[in-house]
Amino acid sequence: MAVTHTGSQEVTRPVTAGHVNSCLLQSEDDNVDGVDQSVAYYIALKDAGVPVEMHLYAHGGHAFGLRPTKLPITQWSDSVET
């Protein structure tokens, strides 16, 4: 399966079993990259048999990074510690 990203430019990449284990983080109010794109990528990874987990947060905008805020998304890094 191929996933197409339509942001500032369209990018299509095949998703194969050779992809590395993935963790997807997304805020639902990201006005640059929509949740649908992350969900499509998640499904493609699952279909290819790639271990993947996804964390969706209601608020956080785009490029939330590690900056502290009052939003729950601030704690996202806790969910990926090993």
Query: What's the pLDDT score for residue 1?
Result: 57
In one-letter notation, the amino acid at residue 7 is: G
pTM of the model: 0.77
Q: In terms of C-beta density within 10 A (0-12 exposed, 13-18 middle, 19 or more buried), how is residue 31 classed?
A: exposed
Q: What is the pLDDT of residues 13-66, one digit of tens each?
A: 788 899 899 999 999 999 988 898 889 889 989 999 999 999 999 999 988 888
Half-sphere exposure in the Cβ direction for 57 (13 Å, CA): 20
Nearest alpha-carbon partner for 59 in 26, 14, 29, 33: 29
Confidence check: pLDDT of 10 > 90: no
Query: What's the pLDDT score for residue 79?
Result: 78
